Amino acid sequence: MPRIELGTYVEQLITWLLRSVPGLLDGISAVVTVVTDALTATLAGPPFGVWVAILTVAALLVRGWGLAAFTVTAFLLISALNLWQETMETLAMVLVAAVIATAIGVPLGIWAARRPTAGVILRPILDFMQTTPVFVYLIPAVFFFGIGVVPGVVATTIFSIPPAVRLTELGIRGVDPEVVEAAQAFGAHPRQILREVQLPMALPSIMAGINQVIMLALSMVVVAGLAGAGGLGTVVVSAVTQLDVAAGFEGGLAVVILAIFLDRFTAALADRPGRGLWRRLRNRRATPAAAAPGRAAEAPAQPATGVSPAAR
């Protein structure tokens, strides 16, 4: 049986794209570079104590004292390992890739939930994207954008899109049909139903999808390091090539710490009841307002004697 030169056709397609749209690729590269560099400068510019304090307060407000204590201990450990700069570079790359993946994935999930045909078309594409080995994403990314942070961000973004699409579609499809029918009965427009009914009720599932997007982006850190993306990925790759066990362990530990923090933080944002200090303060502030009608309702009623108080 003759061999099918499928890889050759893909290579020819990539070469044709390089010749046809060089301006578009240069524009994408410039935008991603500027945004990533600006975010890295913002994260790594101030002293590490400033960001440790900010992240600790954010963790306290969102989740509570447990995550706040972990945040202080974990990020002080990263600073003590002299990996603060690399961690901030990795965080910047992950945030940029996660925002782009979410901006692409959530609308696709909404489209798939509202159009069954779109869901049928997207499902095999998402299966292909999730089962493709992560190293394969680097090949066209390096061809299109060269070596550096841009191919790392692009490959990370493509690899992270499927959870946002799937969980957004799942959340919108899981909205109670009776609620949607009630909104339709009141004359709500489909866009209004989506904005004010379906999206708020599907928010926990959408936030879970964003959480998975961030986790997949972090799993690409080491792979992106092979393309010269910098950050903790470069530390781990350098340790592997030099058989440096100590540096590899420290770089891997920093990745794990960052992953745990982002996972717990985004999971707390997706938690509707909330366990953080901010939720407790809001509930305490709302308690007097809720108690006032209750006290009014508990006031003893006048006996129904048919005689007014003035007459008595």
To 10 degrees, the CA torsion angle through 93, 101, 262, 216?
-90
Residue 97 has pLDDT above 80, yes or no: yes
Closest Cα partner for 108 from 86, 125, 132?
Answer: 125
Domain with residue 170: its CATH number is 1.10.3720.10
Mean pLDDT check: name the lowest of 37-51, 168-182, 267-281. 267-281
Query: Which whole number is the average pLDDT over 161-184?
Result: 87
pTM above 0.85, yes or no: no
Q: pLDDT class for 140, splitting at 50, 70, 90?
A: confident
pLDDT tens digits for range 116-139: 888 889 999 998 888 888 788 888
Q: Residues in the chain, how many?
A: 312
Burial class (CB in 10 A: 0-12, 13-18, 19+), 48: middle
Residue 60 lies in a domain: no
List the domain range (segments joined by +) for residue 21: 17-46+81-273
Number of independent structural domains in the chain: 1
In the chain, % of residues over pLDDT 70: 86
Residue 166 lies in a domain: yes
Residue 292 lies in a domain: no
Residue 1 lies in a domain: no
Residue 103 has pLDDT above 90, yes or no: yes
Residue 311 lies in a domain: no
pLDDT tens digits for range 9-27: 777 887 887 787 777 888 8
pLDDT tens digits for range 55-89: 888 888 887 888 889 989 999 999 888 888 888 98
pLDDT tens digits for range 272-292: 444 444 444 445 555 554 444
pLDDT tens digits for range 204-261: 888 888 989 998 888 887 788 877 777 888 888 888 888 888 888 988 899 899 988 9
In the chain, % of residues over pLDDT 90: 10
Residue 104 has pLDDT above 90, yes or no: yes
Q: pLDDT class for 310, splitting at 50, 70, 90?
A: very low
Q: pLDDT class for 295, splitting at 50, 70, 90?
A: very low
Query: Which whole number is the average pLDDT over 293-306?
Result: 45
Residue 261 lies in a domain: yes
Widest distance between CA atoms in the chain = 109
Residue 231 lies in a domain: yes
3-state helix, strand, coil in the chain (%, to 5): 80, 0, 20
* Paired tokens of 91: 């965080």
Instruction: Check: CB of residue 216 under 8 Å from CB of residue 112.
Output: no
Question: Could you give the CA distance from residue 284 to residue 280 in angstroms, rounded to a whole number?
Answer: 6
Residue 25 lies in a domain: yes
Closest Cα partner for 114 from 160, 32, 171?
Answer: 171
